[in-house]
């Protein structure tokens, strides 16, 4: 009887041990959503996830799922998925969407995770402040990942052809747009446009530089200075220094136009630099958007979030930490050329010796973001492109357009 | 007095008992229950929800401010110039789009009804626009219309019809005609297919008899073909009016309603508002669009049913 009891006890204990071990080794699955600008970036994110899965040693399995950026509609896709009870554990994210997600309590508060995180200080404290500001609270809901400072790409060979030097002031920049607009084959038609203007969604970022260069700002878009900035933008188009398709040109179009030699300058961030160098080799360079009365350029950002609905928040934070300061940060920023948020990664030779990174860093002191309001998303997606298209098409004056944009953003 | 017995009373008794059995039998209800529940869940509930949201300030960007606001959204729509502009665009979009789809579809149906070598292949090819997804059509035509690299500009320049490339989708004057052209291209095969089926149902003897009576081709078409296809024309046109009025995919993928709202029909406006999460206002405009369509559809259907009754 005693032997039987011992046997049963041993069996139960060994079964319990087996269950405990298998529970410990049971992989925790984390679904991560992201967008990628091209197939190479897409493959890179899959590789980062695979590397993390192979090395984290905690049984965390990240399933990286790609969704299209779709001119910013990614944020709404994510929002709808999470509101509908689905969506991922973590996701790439734009800071401008923070009010929408926090207002609906969809984001996990990261304060406790950050307090316990050993690598917290590898990220600039000011970035955490920016994250707090975006949420309108004293808490961090968004994990910094990487930033992109907009600057002007240009073709040195076209500059030489037009006899133009790199603009140092806003006035020189406007003049360069004019001189770089050329009829290269003498058929009386423009073959190269000075400025690759973005009039579709996303165009508000380069447009903002014109507003600030004339002394305007985003607090009041209807000031004479801001209106003058808008007038410059309209004049570039109406005078034929930008392609006729500009009102509907988005990211793909401005990049395609620049790469095909149709435009001599265009504004984008370092994320495009690898593709530009692939196309032109040394015949592509960059300069910061020049200042006039004021100076501003857009600081694009790509962050990551941990959704409140995630059932594995600890594991999900491990993944976000890997992307922010671990190997994932280095791999992504090297592949895309984005500005890393990890100070350790910033010191790597790749970033110290990159000419586009240098321009990004030059622009950083005056780089900023648009006001993050609950109207911002609609303003960016619908109001700005349609209002500017009306102004470019001559259906609306610069003053009326700016008044409409002011009402659309601030409500008055 | 005994009740009158006889055949009539017997029939009543049988009918009564049959009715009694039908009335209390749960089977018919159980059999239609799955379909009914599905329809209630996927059609009735969302419609009811949309109606309720149209009476609320239902904006997910401001969830703390969601509340009942009565007819405020409807009043906003009445004072919204973009709503009226979108409504006008919708009327033009449907009238020109469906009208020309019908005309060209009829012509294609008449052509495909004739016997010629390779007719089967031509019939199959002509269906391509109809079976192509709207999103793909939008993307395809976006490149066709492209102001820098588009094939349409290239063709027109080679033919000497234009000297400078036209940014078809970037100009307010050409963007709307361009999207209408796209929807016409998409819808022609639908009319062609439906009318072709109708044409094949018209007895050949009618044409023979009319020819013997001296009717010319014009008379045969308007006195035999068109009246014979009346019901098909009614139904197909009504369906296309509803589909085209509600269509978002083609316009959204071509222009997203721009430039300067010049291609924004009411359904695209609803989609854009819904995308920016102002679901209350989006629902209001969707309800108004549904009512506007009902104004067209109800008299249309009444006339159709009346015509059918008369023909019996």
**Residues A148-192: pLDDT tens digits?**
899 999 999 999 999 999 999 999 999 999 999 999 999 889 999
Answer yes or no: do A169 and A120 share one domain. Answer: no
Q: What is the pLDDT of residue B1?
A: 37
Structure confidence by residue, pLDDT tens digits, A385-410: 999 999 999 999 999 999 999 999 99
A73, A247, A260: residue with CB nearest B275: A73
Q: What is the pLDDT of residue A194?
A: 97
Answer yes or no: do A158 and A270 share one domain. Answer: yes
Give B14 or A93, the one with higher predicted confidence.
A93
Distance of CA A7 to the CA centre of its chain: 63
Say yes or no: B98 contacts chain A, CB-CB below 8 A.
no
Per-residue pLDDT, averaged over A304-311, amounts to 97
Least confident of A56-70, A212-226, B113-127, B175-189: B113-127
Q: How many CB pairs lie under 8 A apart between chains A and B?
A: 98
Q: What is the pLDDT of residue B3?
A: 42
> Do the Cβ atoms of A248 and B257 come within 8 Å?
no
Is residue A98 scored above 60 in pLDDT?
yes
A3 within some domain: no
Answer yes or no: do A275 and A155 share one domain. Answer: yes
> Do the Cβ atoms of B277 and A76 come within 8 Å?
yes
CA distance B90 to chain A (A): 18
Q: If you measure CA to CA, which chain A residue comes closest to B261?
A: A386
Q: How far apart are CA A123 and CA A365, in angstroms?
A: 17
> Do the Cβ atoms of A393 and B171 come within 8 Å?
yes
Q: If you measure CA to CA, which chain B residue comes closest to A379?
A: B276
Q: List strand residue ranges (DSSP E) for chain B, in order.
A: none
Answer yes or no: do A232 and A344 share one domain. Answer: no
Is residue B114 scored above 70 in pLDDT?
yes
Say yes or no: B167 contacts chain A, CB-CB below 8 A.
yes
Which residues does chain A have within 8 Å of residue B85's beta carbon, measured at their own beta carbons? none
Say yes or no: B311 contacts chain A, CB-CB below 8 A.
no
Angle between helices B81-112 and B172-200 (to 10 degrees): 40
> Do the Cβ atoms of B169 and A248 come within 8 Å?
yes
Is residue A15 scored above 70 in pLDDT?
no
Is residue B11 scored above 90 in pLDDT?
no
A310 within some domain: yes
Q: How far apart are CA A11 and CA A280, in angstroms?
A: 70
Write down all domains in chain B, each with its CATH number in brackets. Answer: 81-310 (1.10.3720.10)
> Do the Cβ atoms of A244 and B170 come within 8 Å?
yes
Which residues does chain A have within 8 Å of residue B259's beta carbon, measured at their own beta carbons? 199, 247-248, 385-386, 389-390, 392-393
Give exposure, A341-371, as e/b (b: 16+ Cβ within 10 Å): bbeebbeeeebeebebbebbbbbeebbebbe
> Do the Cβ atoms of A100 and B147 come within 8 Å?
no
Which residues does chain A have within 8 Å of residue B249's beta carbon, measured at their own beta carbons? none
Q: What is the pLDDT of residue A86?
A: 93
Least confident of A14-18, A209-213, A245-249: A14-18
Structure confidence at residue A10 as a pLDDT band (50, 70, 90): low
Is residue B145 scored above 90 in pLDDT?
yes
How many structural domains does chain A have?
A: 2
Say yes or no: B259 contacts chain A, CB-CB below 8 A.
yes
Answer yes or no: do A217 and A110 share one domain. Answer: no
Answer yes or no: do A225 and A333 share one domain. Answer: no
Structure confidence at residue A136 as a pLDDT band (50, 70, 90): confident
The domain that contains A93 carries what CATH number?
3.40.190.10
Which residues does chain A have within 8 Å of residue B62's beta carbon, measured at their own beta carbons? 103, 374
Q: What is the pLDDT of residue A373?
A: 86
Q: What is the pLDDT of residue A34?
A: 97
Answer yes or no: do A201 and A249 share one domain. Answer: yes
Which residues does chain A have within 8 Å of residue B146's beta carbon, measured at their own beta carbons? 245
CA distance A218 to chain B (A): 21
The pTM of this model reads 0.82
A228 within some domain: yes
Say yes or no: B129 contacts chain A, CB-CB below 8 A.
no
Q: What is the pLDDT of residue A17?
A: 53
> What are the tokens at B286?
């969707």
Structure confidence by residue, pLDDT tens digits, B221-258: 999 999 999 989 999 999 999 999 999 999 999 999 99
Answer yes or no: do A277 and A397 share one domain. Answer: yes
Answer yes or no: do A175 and A309 share one domain. Answer: no
Answer yes or no: do A359 and A380 share one domain. Answer: no
Answer yes or no: do A259 and A350 share one domain. Answer: no
Angle between helices B45-54 and B279-311 (to 10 degrees): 130
A16 within some domain: no
> Which distant-in-sequence residues (6+ apart) come within 8 Å of A126 by Cβ?
none
Range of the domain at A251: 151-288+373-410
């Amino acid at each position: 009887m005693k032997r039987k009891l011992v046997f049963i006890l041993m069996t139960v204990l060994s079964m319990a041990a087996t269950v405990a071990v298998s529970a410990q080794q049971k992989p925790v699955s984390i679904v991560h959503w992201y967008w990628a600008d091209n197939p190479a970036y897409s493959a890179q994110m899959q590789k980062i996830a695979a590397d993390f899965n192979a090395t984290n040693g905690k049984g965390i399995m990240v399933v990286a799922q790609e969704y299209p950026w779709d001119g910013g509609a990614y944020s709404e896709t994510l929002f709808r998925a999470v509101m509908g009870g689905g969506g991922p554990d973590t996701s790439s994210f734009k800071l401008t969407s923070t009010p929408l997600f926090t207002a609906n309590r969809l984001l996990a508060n990261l304060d406790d995770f950050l307090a316990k995180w050993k690598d917290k200080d590898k990220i600039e404290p000011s970035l955490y402040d920016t994250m707090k500001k975006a949420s309108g609270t004293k808490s961090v809901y968004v994990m910094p990942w990487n930033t992109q400072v907009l600057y002007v790409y240009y073709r040195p060979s076209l500059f030489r052809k037009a006899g133009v030097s790199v603009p140092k002031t806003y006035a020189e920049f406007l003049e360069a747009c004019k001189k770089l607009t050329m009829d290269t084959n003498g058929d009386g038609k423009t073959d190269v446009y000075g400025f690759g203007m973005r009039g579709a969604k996303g165009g508000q970022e380069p447009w903002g530089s014109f507003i600030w260069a004339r002394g305007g700002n985003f607090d009041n878009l209807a000031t004479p200075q801001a209106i003058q900035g808008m007038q410059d933008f309209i004049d570039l188009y109406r005078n034929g220094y930008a392609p006729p398709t500009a009102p509907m040109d988005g990211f793909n179009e401005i990049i395609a136009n620049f790469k095909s030699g149709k435009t001599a300058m265009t504004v984008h961030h370092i994320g495009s630099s690898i593709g530009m160098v692939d196309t032109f080799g040394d015949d592509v360079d960059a300069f910061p958007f020049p200042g006039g009365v004021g100076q501003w350029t857009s600081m694009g950002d790509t962050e990551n979030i941990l959704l409140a609905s995630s059932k594995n928040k600890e594991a999900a934070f491990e993944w976000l930490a890997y992307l922010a300061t671990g190997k994932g940060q280095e791999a992504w920023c090297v592949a895309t050329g984005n500005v890393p948020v990890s100070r350790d990664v910033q010191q790597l030779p790749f970033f110290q010796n990159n000419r586009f990174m240098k321009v990004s860093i030059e622009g950083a002191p005056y780089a900023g973001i648009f006001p993050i309001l609950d109207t911002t998303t609609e303003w960016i997606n619908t109001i700005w492109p349609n209002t500017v298209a009306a102004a470019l098409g001559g259906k609306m004056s610069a003053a009326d357009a700016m008044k409409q944009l002011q009402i659309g953003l601030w409500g008055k | 007095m005994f009740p009158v017995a006889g055949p009539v009373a017997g029939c009543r008794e049988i009918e009564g008992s049959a009715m009694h059995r039908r009335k209390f039998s749960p089977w018919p209800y159980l059999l239609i229950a799955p379909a009914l529940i599905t329809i209630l869940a996927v059609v009735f509930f969302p419609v009811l929800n949309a109606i309720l949201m149209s009476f609320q300030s239902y904006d997910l960007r401001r969830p703390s401010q969601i509340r009942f606001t009565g007819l405020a959204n409807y009043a906003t729509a009445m004072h919204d110039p973009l709503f009226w502009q979108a409504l006008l665009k919708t009327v033009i979009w449907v009238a020109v789009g469906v009208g020309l789809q019908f005309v060209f579809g009829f012509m294609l149906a008449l052509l495909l009804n004739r016997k010629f070598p390779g007719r089967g292949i031509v019939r199959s090819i002509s269906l391509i626009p109809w079976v192509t997804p709207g999103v793909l059509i939008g993307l395809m035509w976006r490149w066709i219309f492209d102001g820098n690299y588009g094939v349409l500009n290239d063709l027109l320049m080679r033919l000497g019809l234009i000297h400078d490339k036209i940014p078809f989708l970037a100009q307010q004057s050409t963007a709307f005609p361009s999207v209408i052209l796209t929807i016409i291209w998409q819808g022609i095969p639908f009319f062609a297919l439906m009318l072709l089926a109708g044409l094949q149902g018209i007895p050949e003897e009618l044409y023979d008899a009319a020819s013997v009576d001296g009717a010319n081709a014009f008379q045969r078409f308007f006195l035999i073909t068109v009246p014979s296809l009346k019901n098909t024309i009614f139904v197909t046109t009504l369906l296309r009016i509803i589909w085209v009025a509600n269509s978002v995919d083609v316009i959204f993928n071509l222009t997203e309603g721009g430039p300067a709202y010049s291609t924004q029909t009411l359904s695209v406006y609803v989609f854009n508002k819904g995308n920016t999460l102002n679901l209350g206002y989006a629902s209001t405009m969707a309800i108004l669009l549904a009512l506007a369509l009902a104004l067209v559809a109800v008299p249309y259907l009444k006339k159709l049913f009346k015509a059918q009754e008369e023909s019996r």
